[in-house]
Amino acid sequence: MAITKAQSHEDAIGTQLRDAKAKLEQFAATAKRKGAQAQAAAITGLNTAKQYIDQKVQDLETTSEQHRSRAKADVAADVAAFKASVEKLAGSFKR
């Protein structure tokens, strides 16, 4: 069975999201242990953003072909912004 470009793209997005989610879970545990309220609030916001991206990824399945490339580009941009935010948060834990 051949893997389509759409499946490959969705797999790549899924991998990026899983990696970022794993980092968030580590940060949440660290923030909880340290009692870091600001970081905990940032983690909550990022978890909400991840849920929004997850919903957009699910919506790709029902997106018409004519709108699919734009929808994939939107998801990719959201994932890039999400990953950047996770990395920024990671920097706050390294201090």
Give how many domains the chain has, as a whole number: 1
| For residue 84, pLDDT beyond 90 | yes
Q: How far apart are the first and last CA of the chain?
A: 48
pLDDT in tens, 21-71: 888 888 888 877 777 777 888 888 999 999 999 999 899 888 888 998 899
CA of residue 26 relative to chain centroid, distance: 15
Range of the domain at 56: 5-94
Which distant-in-sequence residues (6+ apart) come within 8 Å of 56 by Cβ?
A: 71, 74, 75, 78
